[in-house]
Amino acid sequence: MKKVTVAKSAGFCFGVKRAVEMVYEQVHTSRQQVYTYGPIIHNEEVVNDLTSKGVKVINTMEELQKIDDGVVIIRSHGVAGDVYKAIEKQQLKYVDATCPFVQKIHRIVRRESQNGRHIIIIGNAEHPEVIGIKGWCEGPVWVIESKKDAIDFMEKHNVSLCIVAQTTFNYNKFKELVEIFAEKSYDKIVLNTICNATEERQTEAKRIAGEVDTMIVVGGRNSSNTQKLYDICKKECKNTYYIQTLVDLDSKPFQSFGHVGITAGASTPNKIIEEVQKHVRIKF
């Protein structure tokens, strides 16, 4: 019989679960049109279900400024301070579903930039969480994602720094980049703002991938934390597959082995994880 190991940490994290529940609560209780500023989480299945219930996604300040009535829900990734100001100026009701761990980073970078420190965000510059964090900085800010980025920065600047991280960044890579900054005697504060759930998920995924014949990583195509899980698992198990839903399994050149591991990103509903687990046990 095939052995299937499902990561205990797979699926919704605290911040995502909280955000999704807040949107559904508004769907069921609000008499106004419900909007989310950006997709509430990076999972197309969840976003599509909310859309089917009448929730509309707005992606820009221009779209926001065209709304004159309704409830705006701030996405779990957070937004820049200017978005709050725009919502308040238009006298719209809003619900803040920003992950509390992300809100903590907003407070840190605002405080430290007001104190004169330049902010370094270790993360992906295109990710909405990072874009939101940048929007709370009141002075110079840089986004560092690679060793080259860190080395290039060191050659050009000699300033007081505050270093933070995108909550879903790879923990080992974060440590590697911080060590590069440690080689130069900066006046710096380093705060590991990667959330505990991310570290636990990545550590467990790496362990399972090292024990199985095949690894399946489930999550949205645009999910940063799921992509990082895939990268981590791929290094441990060459037969690692990245899927969004059960349907994707049939389109992959999936090979059947005796021991299959399954993990999932922080925005993946338990229902999808259970469907994949059941399908693997029956079909493969």
Active-site residue, 63 included:
no
| Type of residue found at 110 | R
First to last CA, the chain: 10
Residue 52 tokens read as: 């089917």
Residues 42 and 220: beta-carbon distance below 8 Å: yes
Measure the CA–CA gap between 172 and 96, rounded to whole angstroms.
31
Lookup result for tokens 């934390």:
225
Residues 262 and 218: beta-carbon distance below 8 Å: yes
- Rounded to 5°, the CA angle 268-273-279 comes to 145
Helices 100-114/14-29 angle, 10° precision: 110
Point out the catalytic residue in the list 129, 145, 155, 275: 129
Task: Give the residue numbers marked as catalytic.
Answer: 129
